[in-house]
Amino acid sequence: MQSSRSRAFRAIQNILVVEDDIVDHMIMGRFFERSRLKVQVHAASSLQSARDALRLSKYDCVLVTMVLPDGSGLDLVRDMLSPECAYGTACIVVTDIDDEQTASDALKAGAQDHLVKGELNERTLARAVLYAVERWRLRAELAATRSKLEASIEQLEDANQALSALARVDPLTGLANRRAFDEALHRLVDEADRGRRFALILLDLDNFKHFNDTHGHDVGDELLRSFGRVMQEAGRAVDTAARYGGEEFALLLVDVTRVEAFEIADRLRKDTRAQLIDFGDVTASFGVGVFDPRRMKASTLVRKVDEALYTAKSLGRNRVMEISSASGRAEISAGPATKSRLRPISPDMFDPPSLTSEAVVRLPPYEIPA
């Protein structure tokens, strides 16, 4: 203990006394000369001269009187605690009278100690300086530790956010994964109870297993990645494009009508064939449905749209089917006219389709079964 204290005494080398009374300054200088502290004592007689001295040189401790010609000694204490201050160091406030309020003000301002001039001697002065320097050192270490801890917490929060995001992303395609899709679907169902409208598209790459078996899994993965990019381009920022599983994908469309949802699906069908031409004649089949909060649950919507998707496949693939009505009849279909096996419908029941290589059939509005 004695050796440790001796090292601490030797570590203190420069003291700045900020005092406008020359007699008080000389008295403190004498105390330091007779103490165990072997230090150089420097003088400043005003706030401004003290600030100048602190900017130019490093001091282990500053003793400052309360009353100075150009302000209060507490102003200097507050300066040294400011984040912008480049000369912070241990500080002791020295006063003429023993006043509890003054001592409290000094400590609240950030001083490490408060001394009364009439009670000073070489022993109390040396001990006060030693303890003040140690408190300042511990304070600086605590601040540095807190800063590192805050930085670590921030890094941990960033890492957690990144992990949370990764837990919701399909690593192959970069789309939302099944977990993220389920969360988005249930959120939209809750919002639908408050009047928000949304639609679900489920789609499946046609003959993907045959493609995978023929060209290998690496090429199959590249096809899925490329299709993921097509999906991302098809949706808006508010929509959710997801890999539903294997070669099946999903798109949740917010604030769309039945017709708009169908048109988006059909446009995606055409884009699939056009943008994946490097892989051959790649097509996809689609099921589409608009959520009706009065008659559906989330699972009902998914089941019906999935049924529409597999109806599209059974009718020859590369087409869009909307969820069926109470009669079980397909309401909307798009795909190669030559392969359509839909039951004939009289012309006065729908708007004429555009004259393209694909047939588009639209029926009047329908009631969705529970």
Find the mean pLDDT for residues 214-242: 93
For residue 90, pLDDT over 60 is answered with yes
What pLDDT, on a 0 to 100 scale, did the predictor assign at position 7? 55
CA distance 135 to 91: 10
Share of the chain above pLDDT 70, in %: 84
- Output the pLDDT for position 97: 85
pLDDT at 348 over 50: no
Residue reference for tokens 């381009």: 233
- Alpha carbons 147 and 137: distance in angstroms, whole number: 15
| Pairwise CA distance, residues 270 & 151, whole Å | 50
Domain boundaries, the chain: 2-145, 178-362
The CATH number given to 2-145 is: 3.40.50.2300
Opening angle at CA 212, ends 207 and 218, nearest 5: 145
Higher pLDDT, 367 or 136: 136
Q: Is 89 helix (H, G, I), strand (E, B) or coil?
A: coil
Encoded amino acid at 38, one letter:
K
Give the integer Cα–Cα distance in Å for 343 and 337.
Answer: 13
Residue 9 structure tokens: 């005494």
The DSSP bridge pattern shows strands 332-336 and 113-116 to be unpaired
Widest pairwise Cα distance in the chain: 116
| Listed range (19-33, 76-90, 354-368) with the worst mean pLDDT | 354-368
334 vs 231, 251, 352, CA distance in Å?
19, 18, 13
Q: What is the pLDDT of residue 350?
A: 33
Decide if 321 contacts 217 (C-beta within 8 A): no
The amino acid that residue 297 corresponds to is: K
Is there a contact between 168 and 176 (Cβ–Cβ < 8 Å)?
yes
Name the amino acid, one letter, at 48. Q
How high is the pLDDT of residue 84? 73
User: Each residue of 127-165: pLDDT tens digit?
Assistant: 999 999 888 888 888 888 998 999 999 999 888 888 887
> How confident is the model at residue 271, as a pLDDT?
95
Q: Which has the minimum average pLDDT: 81-95, 125-139, 293-307?
A: 81-95
322 vs 332: which has the higher pLDDT = 322
| CA dist., res. 297 & res. 68, Å (int) | 78
What does pTM read for this prediction?
0.54
Asked whether residue 3 carries a pLDDT value surpassing 70, the answer given is: no
User: What is the DSSP track for 257-292?
Assistant: -HHHHHHHHHHHHHHHHHHTGGGSS--EEEEEEE--
Task: Decide yes or no: CATH 3.30.110.60 for domain 178-362.
Answer: no
Cβ neighbours of 8 (radius 10 Å): 15
Chain position carrying tokens 């009508």: 257
- Label residue 208 by pLDDT band (50, 70, 90): very high
Domain 2-145 identical in fold to domain 178-362: no
pLDDT band (50, 70, 90) for residue 324: low
Rounded CA gap, 14 and 90, in Å? 11
Confidence of residue 193 (pLDDT cuts 50, 70, 90): confident
**Residue among 19, 247, 248, 331 flagged as catalytic:** 247
Q: Is residue 179 within 8 Å of 165, Cβ to Cβ?
A: no
The whole-chain average pLDDT of the chain stands at 83
Of 82-86, 171-175, 201-205, which gets the smallest average pLDDT?
A: 82-86
Beta bridge mates, 72? 67
Backbone phi and psi for residue 359, each to the nearest 5 degrees, phi listed first: -90, 135
- Note if 247 is an active site residue: yes
**Amino acid in position 17:** V
Spatial contact of 232 and 175, defined as CB atoms under 8 Å apart:
yes
Q: Which of 152, 117, 125 is nearest to 12 (CA)?
A: 125
Mean pLDDT of 338-353: 34
pLDDT digits (tens, 9 = 90+) for 174-188: 999 999 999 999 999
Between 195 and 360, where is the model more confident? 195
- Read off the pLDDT of each residue in 8-27 and give the average, rounded to a whole number: 85
